[in-house]
Amino acid sequence: MKKIMSLLAITSLATYGSAAVYSLNTNSMNYANNNLITNVEPNVNRITGLRSNNILNYAKTIILEDVVVQTETEINLNKVKDKFDDEQFVTKTILMELMKDNKGNKDLQMIIKSVNSNFDDWIVDLPLLPINEGESTTGDLTLMYVGSNNEFDGVLFISDIKMKNESSIVKPDISEVLVNTHVSDIELLTEEVLINQIYLNNLETGLRKDDIKITNINYEFAIAEATKESSYSGNVKITFDGLFNNISKIETDSKSVAAYNSTQSDFSEKTSIIDISLGKSEFLKTYKYMDYKLTGEYKTDHHGSKTLDVQKPSNNNFESYKTDINKVMDYETIKLNGDTSINVFELNYKNVNQERALGHVSVSWLDDFRLEIKLRVDVWVYATAWNAMWARASAKMTMMDIVFS
């Protein structure tokens, strides 16, 4: 104030005085403004992001929950698979790859810049990464800002990020080492058995068991595909034969009984259980019928010995042999989609003494993976004391040449 009063006293001209006052007021205002900026700049910068030259640039705080990030493109992380343990590097890589679907997304650019330079300001929850080569995953990336300034606020949640670990190196086709594609005389159709047979058939080419896996298998063919760990790619169709061609014959024991003033009986039952490794449903897509041949002998004392010979006729005009005392089945192709029960033969004698010989075949599903073929013969006799003669019967039966079609 003293300075102002001195200046006013010295100045005599009004015009000069007006100019001096104007200049003095301007300088005073600049001085006040500079002092104001100096005092408040640190706090204003903290809140609004002030920049140099004392110009207040009010940059907005990015609300992370409002940031929209598109995730259409599948990200290939194969080139950085050796750095999966570096959380900052992986986070930055994923965000940079996401920029391909988010060109012009300024908020995402600012987030990437902050992650790159101030990673400690972020708490990151990475998605499940495709660790193994050839693997693909889908997951969510979460970033929560915990920095000391207000450049960001909240949590960024990026969902359904598609990732893969796919080598850009072109592998040779598996057909270069899997040359022999037909497997002969295979008795049990499982992936393990098939891979082992394919391996044995291609030893000279350098094929290894872990080079292939079976991706499709049925009772007509299979697909062998190169594994992700293999040095090869592609797949090959595998054919085979011999399946169900060597079903063992089924043969009952020979049973005989004799009675005098008593009743006697006996039976023999034999089964063959066929392993349907791929299950009933897959089996029935290829095999619907069963053909076979039945042979045997059966007898009673009164009627004598009979020979059994039942098989599929070549002219399909087979005539069964039936009488009141000796009944023999018509040949019957067995349908495999259900259970079947067939009386094969029945020889009866009824008088004071009684004699009987029976033969029976059944085909049934024990469960989805086991088909049972069963043969049974029964013999039964009765003789009274009024008759001095014995009653006798015997039977035996065999099934062979079993064919599924």
- Nearest-5° Cα angle at 337, 285 to 296: 115
Backbone angles phi, psi at 260, to 5 degrees: -140, 120
pLDDT at 365: 98
Place of tokens 């005539």: 319
Selection from 261, 188, 194, 266 nearest residue 224 by Cα = 194
Place of tokens 């040095």: 231
pLDDT at 13: 30
Q: Which long-range contacts (CB under 8 A, 24 or more apart) does 271-275 make?
A: 271/372, 271/373, 271/374, 271/375, 272/247, 272/248, 272/372, 272/373, 273/366, 273/370, 273/371, 273/372, 273/373, 274/244, 274/247, 274/370, 274/371, 274/372, 274/373, 275/188, 275/369, 275/370
The secondary structure element, H or E, covering residue 222 is strand 221-226
269 vs 219: CA distance, rounded Å: 30
CB-facing half-sphere around the CA of 295: CA atoms within 13 A: 6
292 vs 374: CA distance, rounded Å: 13
User: Strand 155-164 and strand 391-404: pairing?
Assistant: unpaired
Contact 345, 300 (CB under 8 A): no
274 vs 120: CA distance, rounded Å: 65
User: Strand 391-404 and strand 250-251: pairing?
Assistant: antiparallel
DSSP letter (8 states) at residue 70: -
Extract the runs of DSSP E, i.e. beta strands, from 48-104.
62-63, 75-76
Contact 224, 174 (CB under 8 A): yes
Contact 214, 177 (CB under 8 A): no
Tell me the C-alpha to C-alpha distance, in Å, between residue 203 and each of 198, 199, 200, 241, 308.
Answer: 9, 6, 5, 20, 49
Selection from 47, 43, 41 nearest residue 151 by Cα = 47
Q: What is the separation of C-alpha 136 from the centre of its chain, rounded to a whole number of angstroms?
A: 14
Sign of the CA dihedral running 333, 339, 344, 348: negative
- Indicate the residue type of 183: V
Neighbours of 116 (CB within 10 A): 14
| Residue 152 bridge partners (DSSP) | 62
Q: Return the structure tokens found at 345.
A: 């033969």
| Residue 123 bridge partners (DSSP) | 144
- The per-residue pLDDT string of the chain (405 residues; one tens digit each, 9 = 90 and over) reads 333 333 333 333 333 333 333 333 444 444 444 443 444 344 444 333 433 333 333 468 999 999 999 999 999 999 888 899 999 999 999 999 999 999 999 999 999 999 999 999 999 999 999 998 889 999 999 999 999 888 999 999 999 999 999 877 788 999 999 999 999 988 889 999 999 999 999 999 999 999 999 999 999 999 999 998 888 999 999 999 888 988 999 999 999 999 999 999 999 999 999 999 999 999 999 999 999 999 999 999 999 999 999 999 875 444 444 455 788 988 999 999 999 999 999 999 999 899 999 999 999 999 999 999 999 999 999 999 887 789 999 999 999 999 999
CB-facing half-sphere around the CA of 111: CA atoms within 13 A: 36
User: Helical H runs in 203-346?
Assistant: 280-286
